[in-house]
Every structure is written in structure tokens, then in C-alpha cells.
Amino acid sequence: MAKWSISTINSLRRCNRQYYFAHVAANHGRKNAFRREAYELKRMQNFLMWPGSVVDKFIETEIIPNIKNLDYSDFETLAEKAVQMAKEQYAFSKKRLFSNPDVRAGDHKQDFAILQMHKLNEEYSEDDTQVVYDKIYDAVRKFPDIVIPANGTKLLDFLKEASWLLPNVMNWSFNVESSRVSPQIDLFLIHQNKPVIIDWKLSESFVSDYSRQLIICALSVMNWYKNRDGQNPDMEDYSLYEINLLKESENVTSHELNVERASEIIDYINLTGSDIELLLGDRKYEEIDIEEFDITDKDTTCAFCNFKSLCAKVLINGIENEKATFNKHVSNLQFEWD
């Protein structure tokens, strides 16, 4: 059964070769150095992606647990703590600990990071990192000021009133024909006996439409309810909120869940999942040829692709030579850590 996600399909549509690196080759294990390189490039973040990742993790590990424990800390202090988390991630990445075979990502759940400037040895200034720290600080500091427009309640009070608060839910899967869908739910809660799904955003974009992702999360929650004893909520009982932590106003966007939209999304998953099934079948990694995955002809896609360095090496040297090069490099590598 093919694994399906919006990011997977977006990757496939941007560039088949990008999909190969990200969703076929990438593997966190270190026995295959080529696949490990693809994994590190997949996890790599630039200055635009990094602040959102830090705030997501901080909400999951600090803010939500504080609310659940009835500990409503000063958010100025919490903002400083979030910046400190980012600085620890920066230090981890700068030392290139992500390439140390003795370092496991599971042992560094808060400070593990692969930042593009360190992974690719790019030039950058301290001003660039300060911009990231400022974004993170502002996002956390403003958290208690966000208001849910549907009822005029402040977000913090809304979360305090919830009977359930589950951040970063990733294991509520459901099947659509030949596709296995496992969305990441930033926050699921039950408020006044009704399900609420929240998706955090840390983007200055005012035009991006994230309704599809939230509806997929809702389908996952509906499947979870179906497998439990008790009454399932109706679709109109669901609240789907996209919350942008950077906007000065109108931070919260509400998205509607109805039968028409849900059916549309299921049809989309079925259609695009069939594309993946036809491309991969039930073959293992070793049975899949990279040449089956065409390269995009769009320069902008290549320019912003995490895998452009690896892709270029494969084009120049060939896949087998590049795999051999990585394996030889890793076997001879001596790590020196600050």
C-alpha cells in the first residue's frame, strides 16, 4: 500500500526525480551512505523553513504541556526559551553532528537540526540567524494575544477550556483504496464535546490555501472516532483553524468541513494515489531504477530543490558511481568535533 501525503504528491508533481530522492531513496539508516545523504538533504532546512519548525516543536513540547498542567507561564520568558531552543539547534547543525554516526536523532529530539548553510557549506551572516531568532521570539510572545474570531475567545483561554489537548498527532492513519494516509495534526483538542483541529503557520503569506491539509486531518480524526465506542460527531461539529503566528491581525482562518469537500479530497487522494501505485507498485528500493523518474525542465523548481547538489552529481557521475563514492567517503571519514 502506497504512503500518501500532500507533500508527497506535491513533490511528485514538481519533479519525479525529487520524489525519488525524498520518498524512495531517503533513509535515516547509515548502512547505505547514498540513502543517508538523501535523508539529510530531505531534513535540511533553510532560513525560511527553520523558524516554523522551531515554533512547532516549542508549542508541542513546552506550551501545550504547560497548559495541560495548568501552568500559564509568562510568555516573554517562554519566548526567550524558544529562542534558546533555536540556538541549540544552530549549534548542533554548525558542528555537523547530524553526520556523526554516533549521534541518533531520537536522542536529540529538541536540538536536532540540519541547516542548509552548514550542510552545503554556504556563506551566511549572523544577521540572518538573528532574523530567525526575532521571528521565533515574536511568534511565541504573541501567542496569548491571538483571538478565535468565531466566538471572540482568546486562543489561550480556548485551549485552557479544552478537555483534550493532543499535539503533533502522526499515527491516526486511514486508507483510501491503495493509499495509506497519515497526516500530521499539529494540535487536536475537544472543546465543549466538539472536535477542533489546529494547524500552525509561521509564514508571511496571505494567499496560501491550507484548507486541503486541514480537511485531510479531519478525515483522520473521523476515522479515529469511528474506531472508538460512543457517538461520532457530525461534520458540522468540527472546527478547523489555520493559525498564522506571524500576522499582526486576522491570525486565524476557519475552514469549513462538509460532505462535498470531504468527497472531493477523497477523490483527489484516490486519483493521485493511483499515480504512485502505478509508478512504484510493491517493489523494494533495490528494484527501482532512478531513470524511471524524469527530471523537471523548470529552472525555478531546481533552484529551490533540497536535492539539487545530489541530483547534479548523479547526472554527472551516474547513479552507481555516485553510490560507490558515498560509501567510500563514509568508510574513510574521520570525525573531528569541537
| Residue 118 belongs to some domain of the structure | yes
pLDDT tens track for 37-92? 999 999 999 999 999 999 999 999 999 999 988 877 789 999 999 999 999 999 99
Residue 29, in any domain of the structure:
no
In the chain, pLDDT over 90 holds for what percent of residues? 75
Stated as kind and residue range, the H or E segment containing 228 is none
Residue 138 CA to its chain's centroid (Å):
21
pLDDT (mean) for 166-186: 94
Q: How far is CA 20 from the centre of its chain?
A: 18
Q: Which residues of the chain form beta strands (DSSP E)? A: 2-4, 147-148, 153-154, 164-169, 174-176, 179-181, 185-191, 194-201, 239-244, 252-255
Closest CA to 94 of 110, 75, 79, 113: 113
Number of domains in the chain: 3
Is residue 225 domain-resident? yes
- In 3D space, the residue among 284, 100, 271, 273 whose CA is nearest the CA of residue 181 turns out to be 273
Average pLDDT, the chain: 90
> Is 133 in the same domain as 215?
no
Average of per-residue pLDDT across 262-279: 92
Domain that holds residue 214: 158-281
Assess whether 208 and 313 both reside in one domain: no
240, part of any domain: yes
C-alpha cell at 91: 549549534
> Considering 145, 169, 204, which residue would you say is the last residue of a domain?
145
The domain spanning residue 164 has which CATH number? 3.40.1350
Nearest-CA neighbor of 30 among 337, 335, 336, 301? Answer: 335
